[in-house]
A and B are shown apart, each in its own frame.
Chain A
Amino acid sequence: MKFTLLITGGLSAQAPRTALRFAQAAIDAGEGVGLVFFYGDGVQVARHAGKPRPGDLEITPAWSAFAAAQGVGLVACVAEAERQGLDEADLAPGFHIGGLGQWIEAGLECDRLLTFAA
């Protein structure tokens, strides 16, 4: 089964953390993750310069490492990135800026679309 993930929760939300655990579990179970699309507040995760609270998982580097290890695309929504003053130079490794069209296309090609919102 191939999944597309939509993450709308930001840095302080549980959503990007749960999504990463799900993505890794899916890969470990022999399933596929086609695309991870960061939308709304989720775009914050794509920025490389954050410093988390001590003891918290550094979620952005964790997603970068996952993308590098598994070859999964991480896309931050271009419209939301523009609203937040984020461009390609601000992104952590493995993240790219793209439009909702990429999310739609990934959704058409996958078996299941999952949303991590909170």
Chain B
Amino acid sequence: MRKTVLILARSQPHGSSRGPDLLDLALAAAAFDQRVCLVFLDDGVWQVRAEQNPGAIDACDFARGIGALIQMDGADILVERESMDERGLSFHMMRPVVRMVSRAQVPALIARADMVVAG
């Protein structure tokens, strides 16, 4: 049975374990052959900002795991445009593994998903 697991990553990358915890959930769902849609929105867009140096604050670069997720069949990795705009970010500043989605499209993603987790 294949379900769609939607994960909404809304938290900044460092200072809590929410970022790596949600990425681990996404990787586990993909490893169990489920369709995974990982959306970075609100402060979560900072997780996929390219050229970070978390080692400078003794934090791990967990977002590298997104590269592993993209290799898995059925994984879709999205970043919300309005959240980037509100934070002075642009798509070219993001890691190359994501594609963009508008805020207006997110409710439809939620409605289509079988399991939704946000953090």
Contact with B along A41-71 (1 / 0, CB 8 A): 1000000000000000000000000000000
How near does chain B come to A109, taking the closest CB pair, in angstroms?
9
Q: Which of B18-26, B51-59, B73-81, B83-91 lies at the interface?
A: B18-26
What total of chain B residues lie within 8 Å of the partner, measured CB to CB? Answer: 19
Q: Are A115 and B28 in contact (CB under 8 A)?
A: no
How big is the A interface, by class? 10 to 19
Q: Are B119 and A8 in contact (CB under 8 A)?
A: yes
Binding site secondary structure of chain B: mixed
Out of A8, A40, A100, A108, name the residue touching B28 (CB < 8 Å): A100
Given A104-B34, A107-B5, the answer on whether A39 and B115 have CB atoms closer than 8 Å is no
Interface on A for B, CB 8 Å cutoff?
6, 8, 39-41, 79-80, 99-101, 103-105, 107-108, 113, 115, 117
